[in-house]
Amino acid sequence: MVEKIDVQFTIFNKNNGILTKRIFLNKYGKDDKDSTQCWMSKGYAQVHKCHFKEFPALLRSLNKNECIVHGIFNDQKYGDEDGVVGIVTKAIKQQEYIAENLIISRSLDFFHYPNENAITMFDYDVEEGEEVLSVTEYIDIMSSIVPHFKECAKVVTPSTSSCIYDANDNLLTDNKPSFHMYFVVKDSTDCNQRFTFQPKSS
């Protein structure tokens, strides 16, 4: 049952600026995007734990300067009394004198998958000339590789630059599906194993 699935992950909060794509209309009246702010050199982070059934509401509540990180850090060792820790790049961490327990780098030196349930995801985008798959078709193909995938709990959301409408409810983006599919990995240490998945029949 979904009610029994607890998951851990980290929320990053960028100090200055947004942490997502900026979507706008170009001079031709078409949607365009700017990804230059999709990076973070300084900010802070906090480990969260929730029931997976609460995860969709949490996704919707994120601000434009926030993002989810699948791994976690040791919030018993690093951070303040509320478990909030400062985040910098590895280069900044090496160059500046920083209190060891209050600031960490966003690197594998400090982040790891929890030794229990964790969230991971597939990011589905359609390239020019590729077969377009619906969410159901995508799940069917993935389930043909990993049979139990069809039965596991999932959360599917449109990607940032899809399903965008104007004030008159006109669809500005193309109708090709582009989505993120979140699901729970029971033994999250498996996430360290890299694999290639081609969601397209040959």
pLDDT in tens, 86-140: 998 877 766 655 556 788 888 888 888 877 888 888 888 887 777 888 899 999 9
Whether the CB-CB separation of 46 and 9 falls below 8 Å is answered with no
12 and 78 fall within a common domain: yes
Q: Do 185 and 117 meet the contact criterion of CB atoms below 8 Å apart?
A: yes
**Position 112 in a domain:** no
Q: How many domains is the chain partitioned into structurally?
A: 2
Reported for 135-139, long-range contacts at CB under 8 A and 24+ positions apart, including other chains, are 135/177, 135/179, 135/181, 138/181, 138/199, 139/181
pLDDT at position 62 is 93
Query: Are 151 and 80 members of one domain?
Result: no
Return d(Cα 143, Cα 137) in angstroms, integer.
10
Other beta carbons within 10 Å of 158: 13
Give a yes or no: residue 199 inside a domain. no
Residues 95 and 152 in one domain: no
- Which of residues 47, 75, 105 is at a domain's end? 105
> Are 14 and 101 in a shared domain?
yes
pLDDT lower than 70: segments of the chain? 1-4, 31, 93-100, 161-163, 172-177, 187-202
Other beta carbons within 10 angstroms of residue 18's beta carbon come to 15
Side chain identity at 157, as an amino acid letter? T
Q: What is the pLDDT of residue 196?
A: 32
Residue 95 in any domain: the answer is yes
Q: Would you say residue 90 lies in a domain?
A: yes
The answer to whether 65 touches 18, Cβ cutoff 8 Å, is yes
Instruction: Please say whether the beta carbons of 68 and 10 come within 8 A.
Output: yes
- pLDDT score, position 195: 38
Q: What is the pTM of this model?
A: 0.78
Domain extent for 164? 118-189
Which of 47, 77, 105 is the endpoint of a domain? 105
d(C-alpha 44, C-alpha 16), whole Å: 11
Distance CA 41, CA 93 (A): 10
* 199 vs 131: CA distance, rounded Å: 9
Clarify whether residues 77 and 163 are in a common domain. Answer: no
